[in-house]
Structure 1
Amino acid sequence: MSAGPEKSTSVLQHIEAALNVLNQLCIGFITIWICWNTLRTGLSGIRLHVWLVSFGFIFLMAEGMMCFYDGNWLTLRYSRKQKTFAHVVLQLLGGGMGVAGCLVQLIRDDWSISVTVHSRLGFAAFILCLISLLSGLSAALARSLSKVVSPLGNKTFHIVLSLGTFVTAMLAQFYGYTQTRIFKGQGHDFMVLMQVVTLLVMVLTCIAPFKALYHKFANFRN
């Protein structure tokens, strides 16, 4: 009788592992293309903005969010302490690069925000990322702050905020392909491909924090 659930769990693990491989390929594809398209012509002007936010949010932040994911073969053999260290480093670097990239563009635009969806979402991601980094510090000190804030609530808030930051940043990236002049001339079909791959990365990366939230809410009920 127990063979059924074990088989079902095994199949689910295989599916999660396959989706994680697909996600890693998508992340690699976007990151490599963005780096090639910006570094070959020099990191000046808007290219610096594009490289910083893309490398920071799509590569480093996505990888940081998946550190604790059971389906992530890159961190599967890491201890909890090692996963925590990798998560903190990747989130700090990714968030720092994302914030720096947004600041670069804000300075270039004399601190004004254009009316495009890309710009508005990018600014929202900038603000959310700053708050998320602060909440990450709070989550890291959850035990020390246990008398003030519940550690479970503290970490749950951090996951929700990080999830919102990542989704907002990915949507800004999605619109950036068609609303940023640096990508003009790449061809409509290729831009659609980049948008589809970006949405795939957003959805597949969000599996990990959604699973974490599920477990957190289950603990709340208990």
Structure 2
Amino acid sequence: MSLATNHIDDFDAEKMKDSKEMLVPGAHSDVKLKIFNSSMNVLTHILIGCTVAIAVLFTFREGEMNATRIHIILCVLGYQLLMAESILSLSPHNGWSSSLKLVHKRRAHWILQLLGSGLAIAGSIIKILDKSIHWNTLHGQFALVAMVFTGVSFINGLASLYAYELRRLIPGVLSKITHIIFGTVAFVSASISLCYGFDKNSFRTWSTSEMADTFIAFTAIFTFVIIVNPLVVFFDKTVKSFQR
């Protein structure tokens, strides 16, 4: 399936050169601000790596691999690793994707989102089937919100991807704006759910209360940094749509 066409490139003004959707316009940016943004990107990847690693180690602790442990692995890899990288891939300051052309950034975004969504939803379904009582905790309630918005965001993203072809049915700007907000809600909800997971007695007992609080803070920090650029794009597109 082709993830970009020449029509889309002509239709979409999201060029990486002189784009107002960047946090910092490339050729005219302040050097100190560029260094700050790059440093925050590196920090974000470090925090993501540490958080995913500790969650995976927790699942491989002594004992048999059960539905709960499989749920943790799939959801953390799906949300906090693949979907986080999916969002970061479109950022002009992301290290591994910054040199890619826009069409390749989009392709990476969709591949990562597809894989991440699949793992996260599969992990959620496994836990749902394993329990008799559902969504009676804040961890579960935010996980439900994340799962629903992940599915909606992925379907909505198809409209955003083919905005040019569907322009007579759905305004291109509207599909892109809604995709951003749905995806942001899904990712933030998943991160909040993870924080409540770290707050569970099983994790605090296995690690320590101090370590649990540390990884809650790590999750909050990298979640905030990751959603900054999508929110900048969201507000920029919203303002432009009202000015037309």
User: What's the TM-score once normalised by structure 1's chain length?
Assistant: 0.91
Structure 1 residue 177 corresponds to structure 2 residue 198:
yes
How many matched pairs?
A: 217
Deviation at 1:103, TM superposition (A): 0.4
1:84-120 deviation per Cα after TM superposition (whole angstroms, max 9, x unaligned): 110000011111111111101100013x314211011
Could you say what the CA RMSD is over the residues aligned between the two structures, in angstroms?
1.9
- Give the superposition deviation at 1:131: 0.9
1:56-86 residue CA offsets vs partner (Å, 9 max, x unmatched): 0000001000111111111010011110110
In structure 2, the residue matched to 1:58 is 80
**Equivalent pair of 1:129/1:162 in contact (CA under 8 Å):** yes
Amino acid aligned to 1:45? A
CA distance in 1, matches of 2:229, 2:117: 18
Choose 197-206 or 179-188, whichever is displaced more.
179-188
Q: Which structure's residues are more often helix, by fraction?
A: 1
Residue 154, structure 1, aligned to residue 146, structure 2? no
Q: 1:10 — aligned with what?
A: 31
Shift of the 45–37 alpha-carbon distance from structure 1 to 2, 3 Å rule, reads: same
Whole-angstrom CA distance in 2 between matches of 1:97 and 1:56: 5
1:103-142 → structure 2 map (5 Å cutoff): 103-110=125-132, 112-142=133-163
Which of 40, 52, 59 is the equivalent residue of 1:19? Answer: 40
Counterpart AA for 2:169: V
Kept in 1, the 8 Å contact 2:78–2:117? The answer is: yes
1:90 aligns with 112
Equivalent residues of 1:106, 1:113 under 8 A apart: yes
Gaps of 5+ in 1: none
Q: Deviations over 1:29-75 (max 9, x none)?
A: 11122223324656432100001111100000010001111111110
1:188 and 1:151 map into 2 onto residues whose CA distance is 47
CA distance in 2: counterparts of 1:214 and 1:12, whole angstroms: 21
Report % sequence identity.
Answer: 23
